[in-house]
Amino acid sequence: MDWERLLTRKRYGHDEVESAEQGRSHFHKDHDRIIFSSAFRRLGRKTQVHPMSLNDHIHTRLTHSIEVGSLGRSLGIRAGELIADQLPKGISPDDLGMIVQSACLAHDIGNPPFGHAGEYAIRDWFRQRQEDERFSQLSDDEFLDLKTFEGNAQGLRVVTKIENHLFDGGLRLTYPTLGTLLKYPWTARHGGKKGKFSCYQAELPLVASLAKDLGLPQLEEDRWARHPLNFLMEAADDICYAILDLEDAIELNLLSFDEVKPILLTLCGDLEFDDEIFATQASARRKISALRGRAMENMVDSAVQVFADQLPEIMSGQYQGELLSDGDPMVRDGLAAAKRIAQERVFPDNRKAELEVGAYTILGVLVEAFIEAVWEQHQKQGEDLCYRSEKIIGLMGIHAPSSGESLYQGYMRALDFISGMTDSYASYLARQIGGGIKV
C-alpha cells in the first residue's frame, strides 16, 4: 500500500474531487457530515452496554462515539507526525487525525437498539426460521447476511446509502474515511467464530471498488487487507471500552473504586502512582478521573509505538495483530484484567440481563411484522396488500422497498428501518404493533 492512494481526496458518490472550502479540509467535511447526520444524533438514545439506564452519567452510543473520536484524533495526529515525510503533498498529520476521528464517530452508527443484545436478537430470529418459505428464494450468502446481522456492516450501509442522499452516495464521505471505517473489509463468509464482518452482499461491489481505488491488497475472494489507519480507530475504541466501561460499572455500584484502581494503575504503566485525592472523601467519579487521563496517555503512547514498529507489515497487508495487545505488557495485562472483571461482574448483572431478554421480545415483534409485510409485497407484485401489511410498509416512509426490488433488498430495507430505531422508539412501536401488549 502507498499513502498517495490511501489518502486520496476522492469522495464516494461524486465523479470528481470536490474543491476544499476555506477553513475546512476534505476530511473535515467528513467529520461535519457525520456529526450533523440523523443517524449520529439517534445514537444518544441507543444502548452502549447498560440498556435503559436511569443514571444520566452512563454512556450511550453517542457519548461513547464522541470519546472514541477524541482519542482517535490524537492517535491519527501522532501517527501522522511519525510518517510526515511519507505523506502526499498537501496532506498533514492533522488530516490523518481528522480521518481517524471521523471513522471513530461513525464506527457504531449502524448498531441496532439495545446494543449487542439487539444484534443477537435479530440474528437469532432469522436463525430460528431457516426453513421458512419467506427465505427460500434467497441465496446462501444473502440469507447469511440476515442471520449474522452485523452492526459494522450496517454502519457501512448507513454512511454510503441511507443517510442524506438515499441510495445515491449516502453521506458522500471520502474514500480514506470509508476505508478507515472498514474494520472488517470482508463478507460474512470470512467472519470467523465471532461473526465479524463489514460488508453485506449488497455492498460487495462498493467495497471491491473502494479497495481497488485505495490500493488495499486482496487477500482472498471477497476479503481485503485493512486500511492502515483502521488499526488506530480500533485502538481508540478499545481504550474507551477498557476504561469507560469500568467507570460505568462504578456509577451503577457494580464495582467499587478500590476494585478498579489496580487495573487502571496497570494501564497507566505505573503501579506506584499516587494522588492526594485518593486519600480524601471525594467521590469515586472524581478519583477515577485522576487515573483516566494518565491511563489513556500511556495507552496512546503504546499504540503509536506499535504502529511505528509494525508499519512495514501493516503497509504490506500482513499485520493481523492489535496495537494495544502487541505493545506495552502492562497495557496488555490491564486490558485483559478489565475484560475479565467485566465478564465476571458487570455483564451478569440481573437488571442488565432482564432488559436484554426484553429486547429479544421487542425486536422479535418488529422483525416479524416488517419481514412479513415485505414478503407479502414481494409475493403480490403490485397488487393490493392486506390492511396490516400496507400500514407497516407505510411506516417505513422513504425507506420502504419498491415492489420491483429483489426480496433480499426488501429485507435489507426492513432491517435498515429497524436497526435505525432508538431503544425507546423500538419499545414504543413494538407495543403498538403488538396491539398494546406489554413487551
CATH architecture of 3-117+148-224: Orthogonal Bundle (1.10)
The ranges of the chain annotated as CATH 1.10.3550.10 are 118-147+349-439
Q: How far is the C-alpha of 430 from the C-alpha of 362, rounded, in Å?
A: 6
Give how far the C-alpha of residue 365 lies from the chain's centroid of Cα atoms, to the nearest Å: 24
207-211, 283-287, 302-306: range with lowest mean pLDDT = 283-287
Say what the pTM is.
Answer: 0.92
* Average pLDDT over every residue of 222-231: 97
The pLDDT tens digits of the residues spanning 323-343 come to 999 999 999 999 999 989 888
Q: What are phi and psi of 342, to 5 degrees?
A: -65, -45
pLDDT digits (tens, 9 = 90+) for 348-379: 666 777 777 888 899 999 999 999 999 999 98
Are 108 and 151 in contact, with CB atoms under 8 Å apart? yes
pLDDT at 256: 86
For residue 79, pLDDT over 90 is answered with yes
As annotated, the residues of the chain forming the CATH 1.10.3210.10 domain(s) are 3-117+148-224
Rounded to the nearest integer, the mean pLDDT of the chain is: 90
Burial class from Cβ neighbours inside 10 Å (0-12, 13-18, 19+) for residue 348 reads: exposed
Element (DSSP H or E) covering residue 224: strand 223-224
Contact of 104 with 159, CB cutoff 8 Å: no
Specify the domain boundaries for CATH 1.10.3410.10 within the chain: 231-346
First-residue to last-residue Cα distance in the chain: 51
Instruction: Tell me: pLDDT of 438 over 60.
Output: no
Mean pLDDT computed over 263-287: 82
- Torsion-angle region of 164 (φ positive above 0: left; ψ -120 to 50: alpha; else: beta): left
Distance CA 141, CA 189 (A): 8
Q: Give yes or no for a contact between 52 and 423, defined as CB atoms under 8 angstroms apart.
A: yes
Candidates 397, 350, 394; CA nearest to 373 is 394
Give the model confidence (pLDDT) of 389-423 as tens digits: 999 999 999 889 987 789 999 999 999 999 999 98
Query: Which residues in 112-134 are b (16+ Cβ under 10 Å) and which e?
Result: bbbbbbbbbbbbbbbeebeeeeb
Domain 231-346 has CATH 1.10.3410.10: yes
Residue with cell 503497509: 315
Continuous H helices in 136-197: 140-147, 151-157, 175-181
Determine the topology of domain 118-147+349-439 in CATH. Answer: eoxyguanosinetriphosphate triphosphohydrolase fold (1.10.3550)
The 10s digit of each residue's pLDDT in 100-132 is 999 999 999 999 998 888 999 999 999 999 899
Percent over 90 (pLDDT), the chain: 65
β-pair partners for 224:
218
